[in-house]
Amino acid sequence: MKCQFCANPKTRVVDSRPGRENNHIRRRRHCPSCDRRFTTFERLDENFPLVVKRDGRLEPFDREKMLTAVRNSCAKLPVAERHLNRLVGLIETRVQQSRQRKLESQALGDLVAAALLDLHPAAYIRYSMVHRQIQDLQGLKQLLEEGFR
Ligand SMILES: [Zn+2]
């Protein structure tokens, strides 16, 4: 985002917080060139549902966050980056086409897990361990029984 005072193209986000009713994000930016600060507002794309977190908080659908989680699950596995991008793209499209206003993060995670199972079984296991907060062997055993029926 360009600086509104000196037009320097590189400004830094120093703070961001959701606005009232979660329909926009307010970002505080700093320009290292003229050392001034200004605020921008980002509207959420209304084609995307809000994600309902486990604790009930609402969050905008975050493609980058999903890609990072998927990438971590595939670390050191023979899965190409383009497959990860494609996977996230497919889920993004599905979410958008669902036309729902809200989506449980649990349901979203299940979609990701199912897609990862097609890419690599170890990626599915890694992702699900985190997503379902599996802490012990019993939980892992149950996951394996469900995933690989
Ligand atoms: Zn500036």
Distance 13 CA to ligand 1 centre (A): 13
Distance 65 CA to ligand 1 centre (A): 29
Identify the pLDDT of residue 43.
Answer: 74
Most confident of 19-23, 40-44, 93-97, 128-132: 128-132
Q: Which residues contact 71 (CB under 8 A, 6 or more apart)?
A: 81, 84
Percent of the chain with pLDDT over 90: 64
Question: Going along 8-145, which residue ranges are E strands?
Answer: 12-18, 24-30, 37-43, 50-52, 58-60, 102-104
* Mean pLDDT taken over the chain: 89
Distance 7 CA to ligand 1 centre (A): 6
Distance 19 CA to ligand 1 centre (A): 25
Distance 16 CA to ligand 1 centre (A): 19
3 state SS of 42: strand
Residue with tokens 């604790």: 55
Q: What is the pLDDT of residues 69-99, one digit of tens each?
A: 999 999 999 999 999 999 999 999 898 888 8
Identify the pLDDT of residue 18.
Answer: 75
Distance of CA 75 to the CA centre of its chain: 17
Domain range list for the chain: 1-43, 45-147
